[in-house]
Amino acid sequence: MNQVSLKKPIRKRVMKWVVVAIVILIYVWAFWGAPHIEIKDSAKQALKGIFSGFAHPDWGYIYDPEGEDLLRSLLETLAIAVLGTFISAVLCVPFAFWGARNMSKNKAISSVGKFVLSCIRVFPELIMALIFIKAVGLGPFAGILALGFHSIGMLGKLFGESIENTEFSAREALIASGANKIQTLWFAILPEVMPAFLSYTLYRFEISVRSATILGIVGAGGIGAPLIFALQGHTWPRVGIILYGIVVMVTIIDVISAQIRKRIV
Amino acid sequence: METVKPKKTKIKTLLTIVLVIAIIWGSIINTQISLSTLIQGLPNIVDLIKEMFPPDWSYFGSITNQMLETIRMAVLGTTFGGIIAIPFALLSSSNVVKIPVVYQVFRFIMNLIRTIPELLLAALFVPVFGIGELPGILAIAVFSFGIIAKLFYEAIEAIDPGPLEAMTAVGANKIQWIFFGVIPQVIAHYMSFFLYSFEINIRAAAILGYVGAGGIGLVLNNALGFFQYDRVLTIIIYTLIVVVIVDAISNKLREKLL
């Protein structure tokens, strides 16, 4: 007995030092290969351009009655985020039930579901957008589909976890009184997970708005395309106004969404 | 009263649903999506996926360097961002800095920084620092600074005020107060947020190369440009493996921390 209680702390201490040693090794390796900081002559010019662009943004770009302007592109970005979130909120439901541990008797089923969800989650949105561009062409539709599918991974995981956290009492009472599977789902599980589900969906919407701003880099609609053109052409006043626009839009969405989420939960 | 309240919430729910449908409807009109385009285009996706198989297994060996570069970008970026986040988080906590103006200003700066996606930061840094790892590391640093600082200040605000009051009572100065009262209570949280941010950054680092910021994304961009879809799939699989391993290790460590 005495030996056992002595052995454990030693093993733990050794483990701790092993972790520390590994972390130190990782850092030595990382700094060894770190790039040298060299500022080229062109960097100064670029910096100057960026600062003057941010100080004097291209205000005329905000609204242009004919042709592309900032407001229209931002609106399209928002629309992509809205529809992408909506699609994933619908599609994630079966995945969430598939991955929830307490929904199936066989543990292997939920493990496979969780694995599928994490595969979807780590598949980069941009590549998904490129794949969908092949199908529906350049434009916002590809962005919507990419966001819609990519977000299933995160929403399915979060939603599945809240299903796992549901209380059994309501479910058992319904089963005991002879409710079938669909009835228990509808009257016991859904009312319990609904607030969490709505809150997660809104949270994902906040993230999707940010993602939608970059999808345009590969041609999947939204503000990203004019931004990348402005960056490549070094038209810094245009870059400045677009970045300001993104910051303002994301901030407004975050504030509104946080207010609503506070009320839901 | 009892009959009025449910009616009110009912109307509210109805209005919310109508509003949500209106927003979705407006978005559909704005983006002009149609199901028929998708159905017509589906064969193209099938063709693309066919081209991806089988993945170019021999390519694994030649992109290991870029993969390591990606990991290094995430390690260095997260570290720099995490270090800068500490003073910012302390200055944003209302129980450390008791002057509302100060912590409000720092929180405002943090929130602004958090609104800009990593890829945009990288795209902005590339013209200044040139194509390579450096703009990627900086973009990751700025981005993880935003995440870690926010989570960390929220953790600091939630600490137990007891030890702090006791320290003030025995005459500790502000520095002692932070080091012996605040830090020990939140260090585990900080490590956990750091690892969490590292997980996100590994994923982000993998695509930053798309705008020229180093790592596996550069190779990906080339493979896409030359329509070498079997190589694209190899890169994706490689990234998935690394991300899954990093996530697993990080999750284990975080479980032990908290």
Across chain B, mean pLDDT equals 86
Give the start-to-end residue ranges of the domains of chain B: 4-52, 59-257
> Is A43 within 8 Å of B130 when comparing Cβ atoms?
yes
C-alpha dihedral (B25, B27, B28, B33), degrees to nearest 10: -170
> Is A140 within 8 Å of B31 when comparing Cβ atoms?
yes
Here the tokens at position B102 are 């100060």
Q: Note the pLDDT of residue B89.
A: 92
Measured between CB atoms, which of B119, B224, B244 is closest to A130?
A: B224
Across chain A, mean pLDDT equals 85
- Tell me the chain B residues in contact with residue A26 when contact means C-beta distances shorter than 8 Å: 75
Q: Which listed CATH number (3.40.50.300, 3.10.350.10, 3.40.190.80, 1.10.3720.10) goes with A61-264?
A: 1.10.3720.10
> Is A75 within 8 Å of B30 when comparing Cβ atoms?
yes
Residue with tokens 């990782």: A26
Q: Note the pLDDT of residue A64.
A: 76
Distance from CA of A235 to the nearest CA of B (A): 12
> Is A123 within 8 Å of B240 when comparing Cβ atoms?
yes
The tens digit of pLDDT for each residue in A190-226 reads: 888 888 889 999 999 999 999 999 998 888 888 988 9
- Tell me the chain B residues in contact with residue A31 when contact means C-beta distances shorter than 8 Å: 76
Q: Tell me what ipTM this predicted complex has.
A: 0.82
Measured between CB atoms, which of B33, B115, B240 is closest to A250?
A: B115
Q: How far apart are CA B60 and CA B55, in angstroms?
A: 10
Distance from CA of A211 to the nearest CA of B (A): 7
Across the A:B interface, residue pairs with CB atoms under 8 Å apart total: 152
Apex B97 CA angle, B95 and B101, nearest 5: 115
Q: Note the pLDDT of residue B80.
A: 94
- Tell me the chain A residues in contact with residue B55 when contact means C-beta distances shorter than 8 Å: none
Distance from CA of B77 to the nearest CA of A (A): 10
- Tell me the chain A residues in contact with residue B194 when contact means C-beta distances shorter than 8 Å: none
Q: Does A16 touch chain B (CB under 8 A)?
A: no
- Tell me the chain A residues in contact with residue B207 when contact means C-beta distances shorter than 8 Å: 124, 126-127
Distance from CA of B90 to the nearest CA of A (A): 23
Measured between CB atoms, which of A43, A79, A247 is closest to B31?
A: A79
Give the start-to-end residue ranges of the domains of chain A: 61-264
Residue with tokens 């002595």: A6
- DSSP string spanning chain B? -TTHHHHHHHHHHHHHHHHHHHHHHHHHHHHT--HHHHHHHHHHHHHHHHHHPSP-TTHHHHTHHHHHHHHHHHHHHHHHHHHHHHHHHHHH-TTTS--HHHHHHHHHHHHHHHTS-HHHHHHHHHHHH-SSHHHHHHHHHHHHHHHHHHHHHHHHHTS-HHHHHHHHHTT--HHHIIIIIIHHHHHHHHHHHHHHHHHHHHHHHHHHGGGT-SSHHHHHHHHHHTT-HHHHHHHHHHHHHHHHHHHHHHHHHHHHH-
The tens digit of pLDDT for each residue in A76-108 reads: 999 999 999 999 999 999 999 898 887 777 888
Best mutation target, A19, A122, A198, to test chain B (most B CBs within 10 A) = A122
Question: Is the pLDDT score of A143 beyond 70?
Answer: yes
Q: Does B42 touch chain A (CB under 8 A)?
A: yes
Domain topology for B59-257: MetI-like fold (1.10.3720)
Apex A147 CA angle, A144 and A153, nearest 5: 145
**Which H helix or E strand runs over A92?**
helix A70-99
- Tell me the chain B residues in contact with residue A140 when contact means C-beta distances shorter than 8 Å: 30-33
Question: Is the pLDDT score of A38 beyond 80?
Answer: no
Percent of chain B surpassing pLDDT 90: 22
> Is B123 within 8 Å of A227 when comparing Cβ atoms?
yes
Distance from CA of B255 to the nearest CA of A (A): 14
Contact residues, B window 154-183, toward A, CB-based 8 Å cutoff: none
Measured between CB atoms, which of A122, A127, A213 is closest to B120?
A: A213
Measured between CB atoms, which of B24, B129, B134 is closest to A82?
A: B24
Average pLDDT (A45-54) is 84
Q: Note the pLDDT of residue A5.
A: 52
Residues 6+ apart with CB under 8 A from B40: none
**Which residue positions in chain B have pLDDT lower than 50?**
1-3
The tens digit of pLDDT for each residue in A157-199 reads: 999 888 888 777 777 787 788 877 778 777 777 888 888 889 9
Q: How far apart are CA B83 and CA B62, in angstroms?
A: 34
Q: How far apart are CA B52 and CA A2, in angstroms?
A: 60
Q: Does A46 touch chain B (CB under 8 A)?
A: yes
